[in-house]
Structure 1
């Protein structure tokens, strides 16, 4: 999925990802580079990243399907 402007995939700064949380659950997010989305598995929402900027509005988020929930995704953040 392209970021919509020049056809390239969006990329998000890893330090920014460590600071972000789901606005509804305040829980962790995972990065889906194929879809350029930040995923909240608890809220079952995927927030888009456009031009490298996370759009953290629930009204802009995509509802995650049951199939998407079965696919394991790496968790963001540093060592535990």
Structure 2
């Protein structure tokens, strides 16, 4: 789903909150997003960053916070 993001950029992107690795994910509405691969700030909490027009929105205020 996030294939439109260039590979070199995809490799260096990290969560701006926890600096963790980001993986491909899907938001509840079915849209593609990048998600923290591990806990972000609290145990079991993660963030999902939306992808708009092929550009990941890496703003903590725009992220979807969810639990696993």
Task: State the TM-score, normalized to the length of structure 1.
Answer: 0.61
The Cα RMSD (Å) is: 2.0
Structure 1 ranges of 4+ moved more than 6 A: none
Give the strand-richer structure, 1 or 2. Answer: 2
Secondary structure, in 3 states, of the residue corresponding to 1:42? coil
| Structure 1 gap segments, 5+ residues each | 1-8, 67-80
Give the helix-richer structure, 1 or 2. Answer: 1
Deviation at 1:15, TM superposition (A): 1.6
Q: Count the aligned residue pairs.
A: 58
Task: State the TM-score, normalized to the length of structure 2.
Answer: 0.70
| Structure 2 gap segments, 5+ residues each | 41-45
Using CA pairs under 8 Å that are at least 6 residues apart, name the structure with larger relative contact order, 1 or 2.
Answer: 1
The structure that has the greater radius of gyration is: 1
